[in-house]
């Protein structure tokens, strides 16, 4: 019993210490409403872990880098 608990704790600490993402939280969006630009169809997007910036690549190949306050990502 003690070995099982210690094993579970050890695995949890190793995964956390290695900065592993256990649950996938990457969302899929089709459109972005960007302040000052309008609505664009999204090819891909990326947010940054240590920043409030969002990079959006439109279907036409244009890349937008903006603050998260200036964009709404949506599916419809």
30-67 pLDDT per residue, tens: 999 999 999 999 999 998 888 899 999 999 999 999 99
Asked if residue 39 is part of any domain, the answer here is: yes
- Helix (H), strand (E) counts: the chain: 1, 5
- Whether residue 49 is contained in a domain is answered as yes
Write the CATH number for 48.
2.30.30
| Residue 17 falls inside a structural domain | no
Tally of structural domains, the chain: 1
In a domain, 13, yes or no: no
State residue 26's pLDDT score.
Answer: 65
Residue 52 covered by a domain: yes
In a domain, 58, yes or no: yes
Residue 70 φ/ψ, nearest 5 degrees: -100, 10
Q: Is 42 part of a structural domain of the chain?
A: yes
Strand order in the sheet with 38-47: 63-67, 53-58, 38-47, 31-34, 71-74
Range of the domain at 54: 25-76
* Residue 11 falls inside a structural domain: no
Q: What is the pTM of this model?
A: 0.63
């Amino acid at each position: 019993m003690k070995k099982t608990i210690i094993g579970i704790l050890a695995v949890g600490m190793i995964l956390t210490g290695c900065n592993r993402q256990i649950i996938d939280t990457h969302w899929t969006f089709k459109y972005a409403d960007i302040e000052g630009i309008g609505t664009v169809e999204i090819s891909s997007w990326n947010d940054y872990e240590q920043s409030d910036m969002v990079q959006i690549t439109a279907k036409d190949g244009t890349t937008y880098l903006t603050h998260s306050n200036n964009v709404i990502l949506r599916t419809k």
